[in-house]
Structure 1
Amino acid sequence: MFRSLMLGAALAAGLALPAAAAEVELEAAESGQIEFVMPSGNIGCIVTPEGGTDVYEPEDGGPEIMCDRVEPDYVRVVLGTDTAEELDEVGDPSCCGAEQVLHYGEWASVEGFVCYSKRTGLTCTTEDEAHGFQMARSGIETW
């Protein structure tokens, strides 16, 4: 029921999904993090659960989603529970080697975030949609 409400809220907020949008489940790696890429290979994301992992803990304790865009410029967006931040200077570029693909027309709910994949880019928000980002070759927007 919650997911149905989230999808309805997303549609009402203007994040219109194609009629055939399908929810997918993304699997966590042994570390507890979830990694996925867009079909283009230009955007890749790592989701860290609340409390972090043995090797990484988000500044606010998590959860956190970190997405990198490779082209036209390497940019990272970090989305936490109460902020979305664009980082234009990335000291550890490491994008886009994940095996899981969030195909166009699919969406996933992971660790308190909802991500939508469309040919026009990736949109991820907190479940309450108070914070999020849109990322594409054409630009990046955070809120």
Structure 2
Amino acid sequence: MAAVRGWAGLCGAITLTAMLAACSASPDAPDPRQTTAPTATSAALGDAPSPAPTTPAPPTEVGEASFVSPSGNIGCYLDKSGARCDIIRKDWQPPPAPADCDLDWGAGLSVSRTDEARFTCAGDTVLGGKDKLAYGKSLRAGDFTCSSDRKAMRCENTESGHGFTLSTGQYNLF
């Protein structure tokens, strides 16, 4: 009886006969609720076809750019030789600093033409850019692209496939 109440709650317009037929159908039988066009009942249940995905806008080509995320928490610098982003507030810790790093360690990430993405060892910062890279937008300088998303900033060497994502909650080197 509980199963019948559940079906009735989800499909109030379906009759008891249709519910019993659906419950007694073999597992390989087609679902009797599916139609080629969504009905008012199936559309209300979320069975309507999804709209076609939108194609993201191509990145804006730049020679170099200094920018921040819309929140201002991440600042980046991008040019044809690489990409670097620094972060102010984060909920994670970088790995221990290497012995040869005598400057500030782990305040950001970078990727260059010849190296994999890595943590920065730097005495400067790329925070404080005046331009904001809006969510859903990307910039490209040569083989390097940085994209701003509500979840993270992503910068990548599109030729090598190396890059990183950076956010308050986590980082990822690839």
| TM-score > 0.5 by shorter chain | yes
8 Å contact kept, 2:76–2:126: no
Q: In structure 2, what is the Cα distance between the partners aligned to 1:133 and 1:41?
A: 18
How far off is 1:94 after superposition?
Answer: 4.8
Q: CA offset at residue 113 of structure 1?
A: 0.8
Residue 73 of structure 2, aligned match among 27, 42, 60: 42
Structure-1-length-normalised TM-score: 0.63
The one-letter amino acid paired with 1:85 is R
- Report what 1:137 is aligned to: 168
Pick which of 125-134 and 37-46 moved more.
125-134
Match of 2:56 among 16, 21, 24: 21
- 1:128 matched to which residue of 2? 159
Q: Specify the SS of the correspondent of 2:132.
A: coil
What residue number does 1:15 align with? none
Contact 2:135 2:150 in 1 (8 A): yes
The alpha-carbon deviation at position 122 of structure 1 amounts to 0.8
In 1, distance between residues paired with 2:140 and 2:78? 11
Decide whether aligned partners of structure 1 residues 36 and 77 sit closer, same or farther in structure 2, where only a CA change above 3 A counts. same
State whether residues 65 and 80 of structure 1, in contact with CA within 8 Å, keep that contact through their aligned partners in structure 2.
yes
Structure whose CA Rg is larger: 2
Structure with the larger strand share: 1
Moved more, 123-132 or 37-46: 123-132
Aligned-pair CA distance for 1:116: 1.7
1:69 partner letter: I
Q: Is the 8 A contact 2:77 2:126 kept in 1?
A: no
| Partner in structure 1 of residue 118 of structure 2 | 85
Shift in CA distance, 41/138, structure 1 to aligned 2, threshold 3 Å: same
Residue by residue, what CA displacement relative to the aligned partner does 1:24-55 show, whole Å, maximum 9, x if unpaired? 52655xxxx42111101011111244xxxxxx
Q: Alpha-carbon deviations, 1:63-114, whole Å to 9, x = none? A: 0211111112772111102321113x6432451x222221111122223112
Task: Provide runs of 4+ in structure 1 moved above 2 Å.
Answer: 18-28, 89-94
Query: What percent identity do the matched residue pairs reach?
Result: 26
Q: How many residues align?
A: 107
Consecutive unaligned residues in structure 2, runs of 5 or more: 1-52, 94-105
Equivalent position amino acid for 1:66 in 2: R
Aligned equivalents of 1:132, 1:43: Cα separation in 2: 16
**Alignment RMSD (CA, Å):** 2.4
TM-score after normalising by structure 2: 0.53
**Structure 1 or 2: larger helix share?**
2
Q: Could you tell me which amino acid in structure 1 is paired with residue 111 of structure 2?
A: L
| Kept after mapping to 2: 8 A contact 1:25/1:108 | yes
